[in-house]
Amino acid sequence: MLRRNNKSTMKKYLFGALILGLAYACSNNTSSSSSSSAATSGDPKSAEYDSVRGSGKFTHVDVASALDTKMIEAGKSIYDLKCSACHKLTSEKLVGPGWLGVTSRHKPEWIMNFVTNTDEMIDKDPKAQAMLQICMVRMPNQHLSDDDARHILEFMRNNDQSK
């Protein structure tokens, strides 16, 4: 009887250690703390960061007032394949944040820079870092092309207008 309790206790400790190890490995403490201190310290590099457009190649994105149905369809296909496992189209958090209202919270340039330059944006952008603190899972780079990013943006715009 005593031996069974010791095995059960040992399994609990090993499971707890495993969970703590995974949490530590996924936290990426070094880059998060250095980038947040640079953003608040008056570092000249942080002055170069534009929190409205984010960090990446997109400086201006033309969006028409009317939605493009072909882009929406292409964006839905990309969402179904690469995004739906972590993001809902509502405001509800799944693994990552829900997408509802994202186009009213962020400029098109920010969205396209985020989906094509994910790692750098998470390292530099205060809003992306705040979402990382809530979701506790760093979004992986999905290796989207510029066209894919534009299609996702149009799909997001449609989602926001249809809800």
How confident is the model over 58-85, as pLDDT tens digits? 999 999 999 999 999 999 999 999 999 9
Report the range of poorest mean pLDDT among 39-43, 82-86, 112-116: 39-43
Give the whole-number percent of the chain exceeding pLDDT 70. 71
| Helix residue ranges per DSSP H, the chain | 2-27, 29-40, 44-47, 69-78, 102-105, 108-116, 118-124, 126-135, 146-162
pLDDT at 48: 78
Closest CA to 134 of 94, 76, 85, 83: 94
Assigned CATH class of 49-162: mainly alpha
How many angstroms separate the CA atoms of 99 and 96, rounded? 9
Domain boundary assignment for the chain: 49-162
Q: How far apart are CA 161 and CA 60, in angstroms?
A: 22
1 within 8 A of 8, measured Cβ to Cβ: no
pLDDT digits (tens, 9 = 90+) for 8-39: 666 666 655 556 555 555 544 444 333 333 34
Which pTM value belongs to this model?
Answer: 0.70
Q: Could you tell me the two tokens for 9?
A: 């206790």
> CA gyration radius for the chain?
20
**Better-predicted residue by pLDDT, 34 or 154:** 154
Listed in sequence order, the residues at least 6 apart from 37 whose beta carbon sits closer than 8 Å to its beta carbon are none
What is the structure's pLDDT at 24?
53
